[in-house]
Structure 1
C-alpha cells in the first residue's frame, strides 16, 4: 500500500469535500485554473507562491500526505535540474578570468526570475493535477469523461473519445506505479540504484506498460 501511495498521482481513499465532489466538475475546473495560472503575468509574481501554499493546505485537508505531495511535484524538480545544467553549459568557460562573473551573471535573479516563475507555475499545475487524481477513482474519471462527451454531443451516437481520453489521463499514474513495482523487484534481487538499474528496467517498463495499456483498452472495449 505504501508503494502505491508514493506512485505518481495514485488515488487516496478518503471522504473529504474533494473526494465527494463530482469528478466531472473537477475535470472542467482544474484545466481552467491551470490555464489561468499559465496566463498570470510576471508582474503578479507573488500570486503563484501564495496559490502553492493554499493548494498545499487543501491537499493536507484531503489527507494527502507531504511525501505524496512531493512525489507528485518531483518531475518539476527534475526539469529544474535540467534547466540548471543547460544554463551551466551556456557559460563561456574559455575566458578563465571571467568565469566567476559569468556564473554570477547567468544565475543572477534578473536572468533567472522568468524561469523560477515558470517553474512555480508548473508546481502549482502539478498540485492541481495531484488533487484531481488523488481524490478521483479511475471509474469516476471514466464516467466523468463520458458524461461530458454525452452533454457535448447533439446526437445519441456512442461516445468515441471517452476511452481514448480516459487511457491518456491514466497513462502517467499507471507507468509510475509499474516503475515503482519494477524498482521493488530490482531491490529484492539485491540490485542497487544507479545507471545500470535504469538501463535494465526502462525496456521492461516500456514492454509492461504497453501490455497493461492494451489489456485495459480491451477490457473497456468489452464492457462497452
Structure 2
C-alpha cells in the first residue's frame, strides 16, 4: 500500500518575522530603522526611475535572503488594493462628471502620476517588508530605544522612555493585525464559510475587537513592566 503524501502548506501573514542568519538579520535594528526610511524618503523625492532601480535591488535582496515570491507578494498586497481604489475613484469621477470616454480617462497622460506614485509606494512597502522580515519585535523595540537614548544624550535630556513604547507598539501592531486577519479567515473557511462580501462583513468587526484587545494587553504589559522598573 503506497503511503499517502500529505502536502502541508505553511501559512504566512504579512510583515511577519522570518528567522535567518543573513547579513540583514545581523544588522542592528536601529541601523535599519534609520537607514531604510532615509533611503525611501530620498527615493520618493527623486524621479520614478530611481524607485524602479530600488525595487529591482530590493527584489534581488529578498531572493538572496530566500524569501519566496509568495511571501513577497503577500507583503505587497496593499499596493494592489490601493491601485484598485484609484481605478474605482477614477470610474466614479468619470460617471459623476458624465464623461463616459474611459479611453481618455485611463489614458497615459491622465494616469501617469498615479502609476508613478504606485511604483514609489511599492518600493516603500518592499523596504518595510525587509525590515519586518529580518527583525523581531524585541529587536525593533531595542533599536527604537537606542535611537531615543542617543537623541536624548545629544540634547542633554534625561534618559527617559517617552517615545520607544508608543512607536514599537505601532510597528508591531502591523504584523499582528495581519496575523489576526489570517487566523480569522482560516477559521471562517474551516467552518465552511466562503470568500466574499459576507466574509468581510463578519470578520472585520472580529479583527477590530481582537486587535483592540491585544493592543490593550500589550500596552498594559509595558505599563506594568515600566512601573516595576522604577
1:209 deviation in Å? Answer: 0.5
Q: Quick one: distance in 2 between partners of 1:93 and 1:119? A: 24
Cα separation, partners in 2 of 1:120 and 1:94, compared to 1, 3 Å: closer
2:66 matched to 1:66? Answer: no
2:88 matched to 1:85? Answer: yes
Contact 2:141 2:165 in 1 (8 A): yes
1:205 deviation in Å? Answer: 0.9
TM (normalized to structure 1)?
Answer: 0.90
Contact 2:144 2:164 in 1 (8 A): yes
Which one of the candidate residues 205, 208, 226 is aligned to 1:206?
A: 208
Residue 30 of structure 2 aligns to a residue whose secondary structure is: helix
Residue 143 of structure 2 aligns to a residue whose secondary structure is: helix
Provide the residue aligned with 2:108 in structure 1.
109
1:93 deviation in Å? Answer: 8.1
Runs of 4+ in 1 over 6 A off after TM superposition: none
Deviating more after overlay: 71-80 vs 48-57 = 48-57
Contact 2:13 2:178 in 1 (8 A): yes
Aligned residues: 215
2:178 matched to 1:170? Answer: no
Which one of the candidate residues 3, 10, 22 is aligned to 1:2?
A: 10
Provide the residue aligned with 1:122 in structure 2.
121
TM (normalized to structure 2)?
Answer: 0.88
* CA RMSD in angstroms, aligned pairs only: 1.7
1:92 deviation in Å? Answer: 5.1
Q: Quick one: distance in 1 between partners of 2:169 and 2:82? A: 25
Which one of the candidate residues 193, 198, 212 is aligned to 2:195?
A: 193
Q: Quick one: distance in 2 between partners of 1:151 and 1:20? A: 21
Cα separation, partners in 2 of 1:203 and 1:46, compared to 1, 3 Å: same
After superposition, what is the alpha-carbon deviation per residue over 1:26-48, rounded to whole angstroms, capped at 9, x for unaligned? 0001111111122113xxx3222
Q: Quick one: distance in 2 between partners of 1:181 and 1:196? A: 17
Q: Quick one: distance in 2 between partners of 1:61 and 1:131? A: 12
Q: Quick one: distance in 2 between partners of 1:104 and 1:31? A: 37
Cα separation, partners in 2 of 1:155 and 1:115, compared to 1, 3 Å: same
Contact 1:16 1:61 in 2 (8 A): no
Deviating more after overlay: 156-165 vs 170-179 = 156-165
1:137 deviation in Å? Answer: 0.4
1:201 deviation in Å? Answer: 0.9
Q: Quick one: distance in 1 between partners of 2:105 and 2:90? A: 7
Q: Quick one: distance in 2 between partners of 1:198 and 1:76? A: 19
